[in-house]
Amino acid sequence: MKSESVKPAKSVDSIKETLMENYYMFESETIQLAHGNGGALTGHLIRTVFLKKFENQYLYELGDSAILPLDKSALELPNNAQIAFTTDSFVVNPIFFPGGDIGKLAVCGTLNDLAMIGAKPKFLSCGFIIEEGFEIKSLERIVESMQDASKEAEVLFVAGDTKVVEKGSAHKIFINTSGIGFFDNLNQPIKSTIEQGDEILINGTMGDHGIAVLSARDNFGLETTIESDCASLYPLVQALRQNGVEIKFLRDATRGGVATVLNEVAKKFNIGVLIYENLLPISSEVREVCEILGFDPLYIANEGKMIIIVKMGMGDKALEVLRKHPLGKNASKIGSIVDDHPQKVVLETFIKGKRLVDLLVSDQFPRIC
Amino acid sequence: MKSESVKPAKSVDSIKETLMENYYMFESETIQLAHGNGGALTGHLIRTVFLKKFENQYLYELGDSAILPLDKSALELPNNAQIAFTTDSFVVNPIFFPGGDIGKLAVCGTLNDLAMIGAKPKFLSCGFIIEEGFEIKSLERIVESMQDASKEAEVLFVAGDTKVVEKGSAHKIFINTSGIGFFDNLNQPIKSTIEQGDEILINGTMGDHGIAVLSARDNFGLETTIESDCASLYPLVQALRQNGVEIKFLRDATRGGVATVLNEVAKKFNIGVLIYENLLPISSEVREVCEILGFDPLYIANEGKMIIIVKMGMGDKALEVLRKHPLGKNASKIGSIVDDHPQKVVLETFIKGKRLVDLLVSDQFPRIC
């Protein structure tokens, strides 16, 4: 603490200057470093951008943490003493793309991580890292898209944080979302006990997200009408369960695509995976782009597709339920669990040849999700 | 899916090339984009860097989300149906500084957010955003420091995510941590009902973190022995409660410092805050640096200091408990809640003058926490 005696009195000019500077900052159309300093400008940003969209009773308190109620129905279960917890950061480039943006992605991605283990998504946090100079209009658009996606999924943003970094220290905006999910009578943890004969399904076409993002890049010169499949998959999981389908394994096929998920399954459960090229749903446009660029759609990221493994004999029932739902209208049974080739994923090609589908080491193209 | 017929056979040379490239990537001393693609290299990084340090039964499953048990003792409470949830991103520059690093900060910061609302910190998630080319040795050092801090605080990392962005798209490494805390008989939500006469304490000297980070910057030419105060404050809160101190409000004085916290209190509860310059604990070295640079320590970030407001008459008892603990040995009663000047924070100076301590708008120096 400096003592009063050494503190220079402020001149009227310097006070005017500060006031003008402050006025300028509050009216700024771009993010300033001071938006992240925890002071008046941070409060202004929280009130005018975040709370305006996300407002709810838990967030409203604006304490250091949110205090959240657990579901009564969950607490009455024999296994009541469990919750689901996950985190994911989103660094997609470009931040706006056909079918979505980084905000929608940040909501759906984390909700899907909760849904994939069998939980019902309930609460979300968001952590923004924003580059100085980022347009507040773009931030508002992203926040609106987050609010739309969370509202549709009936989840609440209950905790948040904003950091601003100097220009050049981040690419526009990065978003972390963490999520909490609950279990109840319908939504129980998925046990993941896979055995020979189990059937493998996907809820629709592969590769749409990856190709949509890629073609939205200025430098790619690719013109397509492909849209990201970005979606919250919990409603599909709920539909399967409500219709009595016994789900043995679920995983959304994001980074690394379907091939990566199936390889994880084969290795984790020490079984073989056999899929059929003629059963893989791929839109003709994605197929075309992949042929031109030499990509394999099996490795391309999705944001609204999951691999579903069900008990032998349950595949047709699952397919019927999936196809009735907008998010599963192009669902397909793509293969099954086999005793042959444990730890390996094998593709039977159109011409009945067999090809090993290995784990991706280097990327097909720059990271996009 | 390309059909087998159009797929060119790989030449022996191209296979060799791929193998060498993969070998190089697995042996790489720096982070590659492929470390973030969800494939084999991501798995390698998770196993060799993250799991090596963070391994525990919940993380071991490596599913999309962690499934976490709630505390039995918490479930037996009348208000059992509550948990605490918070998130924070860390972008400190430099990432290593006297007294800590970005990893320790990312653990303590989030644990403190949970402790400040009265919860017992329990589970953490971490989301890494890493710049391509970042040294794996530095990452290991950060992860080790995160593990040390979480072990000391008896919390577990149960969920994680890693993204790698192109060189120049992030400054080295950003870390988000989200945390879950529980309530039990001792650890109840803090009610925050503040009234005239309540006493205001801080658990030690102000400004150490901010000045330590600032002096660690290459371009500052400042040589000091000041270390960051980065610490998990839950043990202090626990000690206060175990000794029967009625805590009315807690807040760690991070970004924006003590002045920002006190302003929030004054505005939120529509009361006046009066603090005394001669009671503010500031180390002589921090005081000196601040005088040289023209900073006010009241606005400088701390990472191991909190403002504690206790019931009138409880201040001395609280001080006694705090001073017995290593994290509170320089604790001080710095002021009280008054009926005068509602919504304002006033400082009585050394020479008995009065000065308004306002909210910070623009920064004193570049963002450091």
Give the span between the Cα atoms of A21 and A37, in whole angstroms: 16
Gap between the terminal Cα atoms of chain A: 48
pLDDT at A136: 95
pLDDT at B66: 87
Chain B closest-CA separation from residue A331 CA (Å)? 16
pLDDT at A192: 79
pLDDT at B18: 54
* CA B101 centroid distance within chain: 11
Which letter does DSSP use for residue B38 in this model? S
Residues of A in contact with B158 (CB under 8 A): 85
Measured at the alpha carbon of residue B187, what is the angle toward residues B231 and A39, in degrees to the nearest 5?
50
Question: Nearest Cβ partner of B5 from A128, A296, A351?
Answer: A351
Nearest residue of A to residue B124, measured between CA atoms = A85
* CA A239 centroid distance within chain: 20
Chain B closest-CA separation from residue A202 CA (Å)? 15
CB-count exposure of residue A139 (10 Å: 0-12, 13-18, 19+): buried
Coil vs helix vs strand at A341: coil
pLDDT at B261: 95
Question: Nearest Cβ partner of A171 from B33, B170, B296?
Answer: B170
Residues of B in contact with A67 (CB under 8 A): 82-84, 117, 119, 189
Residues of A in contact with B290 (CB under 8 A): 1-2
Q: Tell if the CB–CB gap between A362 and B21 is shorter than 8 Å.
A: yes
According to CATH, the topology of domain A28-63+76-182 is: 60s Ribosomal Protein L30; Chain: A; (3.30.1330)
pLDDT tens-digit profile, chain A (369 residues): 333 333 333 455 554 555 555 556 677 899 998 898 877 888 889 888 988 888 888 876 667 788 888 876 666 666 567 899 999 999 999 999 999 999 999 999 999 999 999 999 999 999 999 999 999 999 999 999 999 999 999 999 999 999 999 999 999 999 999 999 999 889 999 987 899 999 999 999 999 999 999 889 876 677 789 999 999 999 999 999 999 999 999 999 998 899 999 999 999 999 999 999 999 999 999 999 999 888 999 999 999 999 999 999 999 999 999 999 999 999 999 999 999 999 999 999 999 999 999 987 665 554 444
Q: Tell if the CB–CB gap between B85 and A66 is shorter than 8 Å.
A: yes
pLDDT at A30: 94
Coil vs helix vs strand at B83: strand
Give the span between the Cα atoms of B222 and B224, in whole angstroms: 6
pLDDT at B4: 33
Give the span between the Cα atoms of A228 and A6, in whole angstroms: 61
Residues of A in contact with B282 (CB under 8 A): 1
Domain boundaries, chain B: 28-63+76-182, 199-356
pLDDT tens-digit profile, chain B (369 residues): 333 333 333 455 555 555 555 556 677 899 998 898 877 888 889 888 988 888 888 876 667 788 888 876 666 666 667 899 999 999 999 999 999 999 999 999 999 999 999 999 999 999 999 999 999 999 999 999 999 999 999 999 999 999 999 999 999 999 999 999 999 889 999 987 899 999 999 999 999 999 999 889 876 677 789 999 999 999 999 999 999 999 999 999 998 899 999 999 999 999 999 999 999 999 999 999 999 888 999 999 999 999 999 999 999 999 999 999 999 999 999 999 999 999 999 999 999 999 999 987 665 554 444
Q: Tell if the CB–CB gap between A33 and B366 is shorter than 8 Å.
A: yes
Which letter does DSSP use for residue A154 in this model? T
Homologous superfamily of A199-356 = PurM-like C-terminal domain (3.90.650.10)
Q: Tell if the CB–CB gap between A113 and B64 is shorter than 8 Å.
A: yes
Q: With beta carbons less than 8 A apart as the criterion, state whether B261 and B267 touch.
A: no
Q: E strand or H helix at A354, and its extent? A: strand A354-356
Chain B closest-CA separation from residue A20 CA (Å)? 12
Coil vs helix vs strand at B262: helix
The residue of B1, B57, B289 whose CB has the most chain A CBs within 10 angstroms, and thus the best one to mutate to test that interface, is B1
pLDDT at B369: 43
pLDDT at A73: 67
Give the span between the Cα atoms of B141 and B250, in whole angstroms: 32
Q: Which amino acid is at A241?
A: R
pLDDT at A289: 92
- Between the alpha carbon of residue A183 and those of residues A123, A191, B85, B178, the distances in Å are 13, 13, 17, 20
